[in-house]
Amino acid sequence: MDAVISPNRSLNTLGFRVVIGVLGGSAALVSLVFFSIGAWPAPMFLGLDVLLVYLAFRASFRAADRRERLRVSADKVEVIEEAQGASRVVWTSPTAFTHVDLEEVGEHQMRVRLRLSGKRRSVGRALSPPEREALGAALREAVLKARAERY
């Protein structure tokens, strides 16, 4: 099994440009009105608002570029986090001793965890609860098949 989990992006680059353009344009028009009546500090705060919204969207896009890769082979289970072109292994365990737990956290919340002798790692946090449940079932099946393949 080699699964890549990435968060859903609700706004593409064109939508981002449109939102910033509309926000910047409306801030410019309102700034002209304030400037014409002598309230010269108001345009600076409106510009600061546009800048902060821009920075918040950029941080959101950066977070949306993160990926979580789950690899199950006959030898090991790996969880690899990929962000901004770099990747790092955050979990490695032998397949023979790795357990997959599906836990209900709340009424409509589900958590998928890998467990090995007291250590735990949650996976699939970017997925919805039904998708997490499907991931947990697929991960369990992949671990069982990998164990059978090995022996």
Q: What are the residue boundaries of the structural domains of the chain, listed by start?
A: 13-64, 66-150
- % of the chain residues with pLDDT over 90: 30
Q: Is pLDDT above 80 for 1?
A: yes
Residue 143 DSSP code: H
Question: Across the chain, what does the average pLDDT equal?
Answer: 88
Q: So what's the pLDDT on residue 151?
A: 61
Distance CA(67)–CA(83), nearest Å, equals 6
pLDDT given at position 17: 92
pLDDT reading at 9 higher than 80: no
For residue 150, pLDDT beyond 70:
no
Residues 65-99 pLDDT 10s: 788 999 998 889 999 888 877 888 888 889 888 88
13 near 148, Cβ under 8 Å?
no
* Interatomic CA distance for residues 138 and 145, integer angstroms: 10
Average pLDDT over residues 42-70: 89
On the question of pLDDT at 55 being above 90, the answer is yes
Q: Does residue 16 register a pLDDT over 80?
A: yes
Other beta carbons within 10 angstroms of residue 44's beta carbon come to 11
Q: What does DSSP assign to residue 74?
A: S
